[in-house]
């Protein structure tokens, strides 16, 4: 089983969001990525190796960027 790690800036960014939206992200979208990591598309150029998962809540668009490390069995959310 993979575990999830978070870049320190994510905690700051999540605090800026409405608590309801934050809960939806934590309970719906992050588990979706953890169970199906290939759902995100690979970025290119300087961000090569990072996956990006796009979704919409209401009329607001969001993106979660993450790295899958098979050796450490972890996902790092950026």
Span 2-28, pLDDT tens digits: 778 888 998 899 999 999 999 999 999
The whole domain housing 69 covers: 3-77
pTM (two decimals): 0.83
More confident call, 50 vs 1: 50
SS3 of the chain: helix, strand, coil, percent, to 5: 40, 35, 25
> Looking at residue 53, which CATH number applies to its domain?
3.30.2310.20
Comparing CA positions, the residue from 55, 54, 76 lying closest to residue 67 is 76
Question: In the structure, what pLDDT confidence band is assigned to residue 1 with cuts at 50, 70 and 90?
Answer: low
Distance CA 68, CA 5 (A): 10
For residue 78, pLDDT over 90 is answered with no
Q: Number of structural domains, the chain? A: 1
């Amino acid at each position: 089983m993979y575990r999830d790690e978070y870049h320190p800036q994510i905690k700051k960014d999540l605090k800026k969001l409405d608590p309801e939206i934050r809960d939806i992200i934590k309970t719906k979208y992050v588990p979706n990525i953890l169970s199906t990591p290939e759902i995100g598309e690979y970025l290119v150029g300087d961000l090569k190796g990072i996956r990006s998962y796009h979704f919409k809540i209401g009329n607001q668009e969001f993106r979660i960027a993450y790295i899958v490390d098979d050796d450490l069995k972890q996902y790092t959310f950026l």
